[in-house]
Amino acid sequence: MSSTELHDSNTEGKHLGLALTVICCAQLMIVLDATVVNVAIPTIHHALHFSRANLEWLITAYALTFGGLLLFGGRTGDLYGKRRMFMIGIAVFALSSLLGGLAQSDVWLIITRGMQGVGGAIAAPTALSLIATNFPEGRARNRAMGVYAAMSGGGGALGLLLGGILTSYVSWRWIFFINVPIAAIVLFLTPRALHESQTTSGHLDVPGALTVTGGMLSLVYGLSNASSHGWTSASTLFFLGASVVLLAAFGLIETKSQAPLMPLDIFKNRNRSGSYAMMLCIGIALFSMFYFLTQFLQNVQGWSAVKTGVGFLPMTVGIIVAAGLSSRYVGRVGVRIPLLVGPAMAVVGILWISRISPTSPYLTVLGPLVVIALGMGFTFVPITLVAVSGVQANEAGLASALLNTMQQVGGALGLAILATVAIDATNSTLSSLGTHTRHAVNIATTHGYTTAFTVSAGIAFLGLLVSIVAIRVPRQTEEPTTALSSVAISQ
């Protein structure tokens, strides 16, 4: 046994409560930032004079860099030490949050949101891995994974509440500033609570990371640009063409690289590929629902940021409750039933919410929210189990990270497409109404949102079809916590 391994075995189990607090605080901060901006968007829109086309980049700039660099970030932890890269990721996240809070223009804020995504992409996969290197296998690690999963699952909706409180009672800038003291505490405690992991030899696939992230950014920008300049404009065609070239280059690089960022062999398994396709659809549905429903409640119904955050709390509860039930019973009934029931509920909920009108009461929103939350909660655990089922130990981390990547990238792509759909539908309705009174604008804007919800429901239905056709995993005999722990072990 090496001195490093001896050190690991002697320190493992010490300060476990503090270690879990540090890891979960970091994870919660990263997850919160994916949604905390949503309720502040109307305020930021007016403060920094965002155009409607650029507004979605407050969400997509973070989601794309975060999702596009997750695999790269996890690889840096393997090569240079998980604790070291965890601290670097948190530091980058804190610095970009500080700069975001100081933003004086829309471009400034969008760039810092992208920087936050870079920091999150380094910190998030290493945070999960640190559970494996600091908690002994068995009950302690399973419990830590449960707390970590709760933070990840409920953090998104909790971010809406926190964003509402800070925006209404302090300033929208504090949705960024608040990350700085939290990150400082995490950085102070990390060397005292967490021990370093062993490093491995190898190479970073920098060309792969650059081409895939650049390709996705070009694709999303091209899709967004179409809403303001048209599908045949030179700028739209240029960025869409650049995305094709860059993504094709990424595929070629991955086939030639000695240490590929995303080994293409991982997609050979039918069930695993199906789970990725499902998560892509779920990402589109979930991101668009948060974004458009938040805009509807504030811009059309005149809700405050705090009231909007509170209005989303039932969704937080629904996801946590459904995920808990799913993790408890999936070992008995298998993944097949929840992977049919969950997506079906999501489709029903999104179709239901597409029926809202400018004067709809909150109960009209609450019902669909609860149905969507339960559907998502029932889906998350079994889809993770399918993604890691049957993989080699050294591939489980890659398999799970790709699932997260699909969710983030799907959300960013979906938001770009659906924002274009919503803007076109809104403009078309305004033209047909022939007036721009407040009442007419509310009618047109709501029609844009409901059109986007309808398209989103169709994409969620596509995810359900993938589950029906592609997923053929036999009934699981292992406990879900064991499978989920294996994800952490291998990262």
298, 443: one domain: yes
Q: Residue 336: name the closest of 385, 297, 296, 370 by CA.
A: 385
The answer to which of 35-44, 50-59, 359-368 has the lowest mean pLDDT is: 50-59
Using pLDDT thresholds of 50, 70 and 90, give the confidence band for residue 200.
Answer: low
Structural domain count of the chain: 3
Is 234 inside any structural domain?
Answer: yes
25, 69: one domain: yes
Report whether pLDDT(482) > 50: no
Mean pLDDT of 185-189: 93
287, 429: one domain: yes
251, 182: one domain: no
81, 219: one domain: no
37, 186: one domain: yes
pLDDT digits (tens, 9 = 90+) for 295-342: 899 989 999 888 988 888 888 788 878 887 887 777 777 888 889 999
SS3 202: coil
252, 355: one domain: no
484, 350: one domain: yes
Of 87-96, 383-392, 428-437, which has the strongest mean pLDDT?
87-96
23, 152: one domain: yes
Is 200 inside any structural domain?
Answer: no
Give Cα separations from 175 to 178, 216, 292, 476 (angstroms).
6, 26, 20, 42
Instruction: Find the domain containing 66 and state its range.
Output: 1-191
Of 219, 238, 260, the last residue of a domain is 260
315, 386: one domain: yes
pLDDT digits (tens, 9 = 90+) for 371-381: 999 998 888 87
Pairwise pLDDT comparison (180 vs 324), residue with the higher score: 180
Give me the percent of the chain exceeding a pLDDT of 70: 86
Q: Is the dihedral of CA 316, 321, 327, 333 positive or negative?
A: negative
Is 31 inside any structural domain?
Answer: yes
Query: How confident is the model at residue 5, as a pLDDT?
Result: 43
Strand segments (E) across 403-455? none
CB atoms within 10 A of CB 475: 12
Query: How confident is the model at residue 60, as a pLDDT?
Result: 84
Is 201 inside any structural domain?
Answer: no
Of 191, 215, 233, the last residue of a domain is 191
Query: How confident is the model at residue 201, as a pLDDT?
Result: 66
pLDDT digits (tens, 9 = 90+) for 132-179: 777 776 667 667 766 776 676 667 667 878 888 888 899 999 999 999
288, 354: one domain: yes
Q: Do residues 453 and 289 make contact, with C-beta atoms less than 8 angstroms apart? A: yes
* pTM exceeds 0.75 for this model: yes
Q: Do residues 27 and 127 make contact, with C-beta atoms less than 8 angstroms apart? A: yes
**DSSP per-residue letters across 387-416:** HHTT--GGGHHHHHHHHHHHHHHHHHHHHH
6, 83: one domain: yes
CA distance from start to end of the chain: 21
Q: Is the dihedral of CA 384, 385, 386, 389 positive or negative?
A: positive
pLDDT digits (tens, 9 = 90+) for 247-294: 999 999 988 888 788 888 878 888 889 999 999 998 888 888 888 998
Query: How confident is the model at residue 149, as a pLDDT?
Result: 66
Of 76-90, 151-165, 387-401, which has the strongest mean pLDDT?
76-90
